[in-house]
């Protein structure tokens, strides 16, 4: 299901942004058609690059596909589930990113070096937010795998409700940072000097570029799935759950599109501060949950 929504979310975001700017916008599946064109094209390799540059897109795709296996759909169990798998999830994605950063450095371009530097910094900073949030959920539910966390996650009391709202906000912001969208990065810009993710993949062409696009979309849908899962009620039949899940994924795309339409991007130096604020909010969630369990144990 995550894969299905991965195919449609990019189109939704673009369409939402177009509508917000008073335009019609491209077809919903235009990004897919573009990727199809890329797949049919040849690859141009820079003579200074090495093996790292060539395997990085595949490693990146493999890492997100593995991560997909860990994420449940609604309250249905994930394909792969073991205790503390959210830590595995974080680092399998980090592995893919690590290779992309190496590949960017591999080209020897000054732009890509800058982009790799920024990407490394922001993902380093956003990691504690994610782990803190999931750690809190794990503590709250008493389980440590995605499937179990989500199947036992419910809004039992006011504390959990507050934590749920904050968690929802955090997951959306993490998704924005991890996938290089506003306000940290601007996927639309054509200016190499301001790019983060886009500048790292400047040297890729053809199928390699298509693979990178696929993995970016899937990664985005992955975070969308995490957001949706926390909202799907567990009592419903599977078909309804699936429908609601897809609907939530759609609204995730629309929310991102809206968020991006009506604000400007951060100054580059403000980004670390912005991400650290997210960490602070994650700490707040943790404190609330701690209070909640303290109160209920009384």
Chain contacts with another protein (rule: CB under 8 A): 17, 20-23, 110-111, 113-114, 117, 182-183, 186, 188-194, 260-270
The answer to whether the CB of 1 falls within 8 A of the CB of 78 is no
DSSP run (H or E) holding 211: helix 206-229
> Smallest gap, in angstroms, from Cβ of residue 264 to another protein?
4
Q: Which residues are bridge partners to 73 per DSSP?
A: 76
Smallest gap, in angstroms, from Cβ of residue 61 to another protein? Answer: 26
Q: How far is the CB of 180 from another protein (least distance, A)?
A: 12
Rg (CA), the chain: 19
Burial 97-116 (b: 16+ CB within 10 A, else e): bbbbbbbbbbbebebbbbbb
Cβ 249 to another protein shortest distance, Å:
23
155: tokens are: 């809004």
Helix H, strand E, coil C: the string for 119-177 is HHHHHHHHHHHHHHHHHHHHHHHCCCCHHHHHHCCCCCCHHHHHHHHHHHHHHHHHHHH
Closest of 47, 27, 31 to residue 39, by C-alpha: 31
Residue 188: CB atoms within 10 Å = 12
- Which residues are registered as beta bridge partners of 159? none
Q: Which is nearer to another protein, 112 or 148 (CB)?
A: 112
- Taking the least distance from each CB to another protein, the nearer of 7 and 258 is 258
d(CA 187, CA 115): 13
Whichever of 20 and 65 has its CB closer to another protein, that residue is 20
Decide whether 72 or 115 has the Cβ nearer to another protein: 115
Write down the least CB distance from residue 12 to another protein, Å.
16
Q: DSSP code of 234? A: T
The CB-of-185 to another protein minimum distance in angstroms stands at: 9
Question: In this structure, what DSSP letter does residue 9 have?
Answer: H
Nearest CB to another protein, comparing residues 81 and 117: 117
State the nearest-atom distance from the C-beta of 214 to another protein, in Å.
23
Residue 122 and residue 176: Cα distance in Å, rounded? 11
């Amino acid at each position: 299901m995550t894969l299905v929504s991965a195919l449609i979310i990019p189109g939704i975001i673009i369409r939402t942004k177009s509508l917000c700017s008073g335009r019609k916008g491209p077809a919903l599946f235009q990004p897919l058609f573009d990727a199809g064109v890329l797949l049919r094209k040849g690859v141009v390799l820079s003579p200074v690059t090495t093996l790292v540059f060539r395997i990085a897109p595949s490693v990146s795709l493999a890492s997100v596909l593995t991560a997909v296996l860990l994420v449940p759909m609604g309250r249905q169990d994930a394909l792969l589930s073991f205790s503390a798998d959210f830590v595995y999830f974080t680092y399998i994605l980090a592995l893919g990113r690590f290779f992309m950063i190496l590949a960017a450095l591999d080209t020897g371009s000054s732009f890509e070096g800058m982009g790799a530097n920024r990407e490394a910094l922001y993902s380093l900073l956003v990691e504690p937010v994610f782990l803190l949030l999931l750690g809190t959920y794990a503590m709250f539910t008493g389980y440590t795998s995605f499937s179990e966390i989500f199947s036992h996650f419910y809004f039992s009391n006011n504390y959990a409700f507050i934590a749920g709202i904050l968690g929802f906000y955090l997951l959306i912001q993490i998704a924005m940072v991890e996938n290089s969208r506003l306000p940290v990065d601007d996927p639309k810009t054509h200016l190499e000097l301001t790019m983060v993710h886009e500048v790292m993949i400047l040297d890729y062409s053809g199928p390699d570029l298509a693979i990178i696009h696929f993995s970016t979309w899937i990664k985005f849908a992955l975070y969308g799935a995490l957001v949706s899962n926390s909202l799907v009620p567990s009592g419903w039949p599977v078909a309804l759950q699936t429908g609601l899940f897809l609907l939530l994924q759609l609204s995730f795309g629309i929310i991102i599109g809206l968020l991006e339409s009506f604000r400007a991007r951060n100054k580059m130096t403000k980004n670390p501060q912005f991400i650290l604020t997210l960490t602070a909010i994650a700490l707040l969630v943790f404190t609330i949950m701690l209070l909640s369990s303290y109160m209920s144990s009384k």
